[in-house]
Structure 1
Amino acid sequence: MKLKKGDKVIVIAGKSRGQSGVIVRVLPEENRVVLDGINLSKRHRRPTQKNRKGQIIERAMPLHASNVMLVDPKSGKPTRIRIVRGKDGARERVAVKSGQTLK
């Protein structure tokens, strides 16, 4: 998976289409990502001995990685990512549209 925690992405499909956010968590086994404040779902928490009051919690749910695209740091538009070998042999992620190296 070419997406990493902390990447700025834009949602390209689904009910959150057009919204942008930062990746908080990556789930590579499921090919999904969790974005900060996007794809929120309400979860009901049952009252327990520790937590006397039940409550409704809004939680960010995972999106499939194919439904998001990385935002190009130069233009601010969605772009694909290419992996290239640097001069020292290390793998680097490069934005396809601008050719700019990503951290």
Structure 2
Amino acid sequence: MANIRKGDLVQVITGPTQDRGGDRGKQGKVIEILKDQDRIVVEGVNYVTKHVKVGQTQRGTKTGGIETHEAPIHISNVQLVDPKSKKPTRIGFREETVEKDGVKKTVRVRYAKKSGEKF
């Protein structure tokens, strides 16, 4: 079962800091998950420039130029953010029973462990 899903708020925990031009400490929503490569695309993180060749659409407008968009980063370089404290946290799973239409079913539910505490 995956810890991070599409739409989750995550924070980058590795790489150069923001004052050195990196993305460490930035938070963003997960746009896409590339499961076979163990990578995710995060909104506002890891921007790259892509040179697009000039072409024509069917309407006759010209396309092309330099575009910037998010590139995938490895899933181990991000950590899920606790919705209450807005700090990166670890994830746990627990089983809960859910009753739907008179049928009880056991499901695994994600929950955020304590974040920001020092021992």
Deviations 1:31-59 (A, max 9, x none): 11111121100000001232634211101
* 2:55 maps to 1:48: yes
C-alpha RMSD of the superposition: 1.4
Counterpart among 59, 70, 93 of residue 83 in structure 1: 93
Q: Give the counterpart letter for 1:13 in structure 2.
A: T
State the TM-score, normalized to the length of structure 2: 0.76
After superposition, residues 1-103 of structure 1 pair within 5 angstroms as 1-14=2-15, 15-50=22-57, 52-88=62-98, 89-97=106-114
Cα drift, residue 83 of structure 1? 1.8
State the TM-score, normalized to the length of structure 1: 0.86
Identity of aligned residues (%): 41
More helix by proportion, 1 or 2? 2
User: Gaps spanning 5+ residues in structure 1: where?
Assistant: 99-103
Specify the SS of the correspondent of 2:54. Answer: coil
Largest Rg, 1 or 2: 2
Q: After TM superposition, where is structure 1 displaced by more than 3 Å over at least 4 residues in a row?
A: none
Cα drift, residue 79 of structure 1? 0.4
